[in-house]
Amino acid sequence: MPSSDGPAPTLGIGQVAARTGLSVHALRFYEREGILADPVRRASGGRRRYTEGDVEWLRLCTILRASGMPIPEIRRYTELARAGAGTEPGRLALLRAHEQRVLDQIAELRRSLDIVRHKVAVYEDYLDGGDAGRDCGLDGQSD
């Protein structure tokens, strides 16, 4: 076990890729785009070394990206986080705006799911001996 006085253990790019679900290519892209909260350290020979903090930050960025936050906004959030104290209002504003977009996406997906469920019910009724007739439009009326 490392001593508390020594440097924190680091991980190679392959290990970080495995732990975050990001490809090695994506990790390099995030580094080029300024998405990492701290500069990537390099071992002798120039190999990238990451900390547990880097892994946690990348997990957050992965969630933000998967939920639709554009790379420029993630970069801006990263810049604000790097700047530290006093940037909390800006970070909060970015996250609130993103939260609203995610809520809007969820509402749209729910509307889509309602339509899909209706169509499933129509075809289940047909297969159970009912009559689906012509395929219906979105409002449930025959074409």
* Tokens standing for residue 29: 């892209």
pLDDT digits (tens, 9 = 90+) for 64-91: 999 999 999 999 999 999 999 999 999 9
Return the number of other C-beta atoms located less than 10 Å from residue 29's C-beta: 13
Q: 79: which strand partners?
A: none
Span 13-84: which CATH code?
Answer: 1.10.1660.10
Average model confidence (pLDDT) across the chain: 88
pTM of the model: 0.78
Q: 2: pLDDT confidence band, cut at 50, 70 and 90?
A: very low
Residues 97-106, mean pLDDT to the nearest whole number? 98
Non-local (6+) Cβ contacts of 92 within 8 A are none
Task: Assess whether pLDDT exceeds 90 at residue 130.
Answer: no
The residues spanned by each domain of the chain are 13-84
pLDDT digits (tens, 9 = 90+) for 103-112: 999 999 999 9
Predicted confidence at residue 125, as pLDDT, reads 86
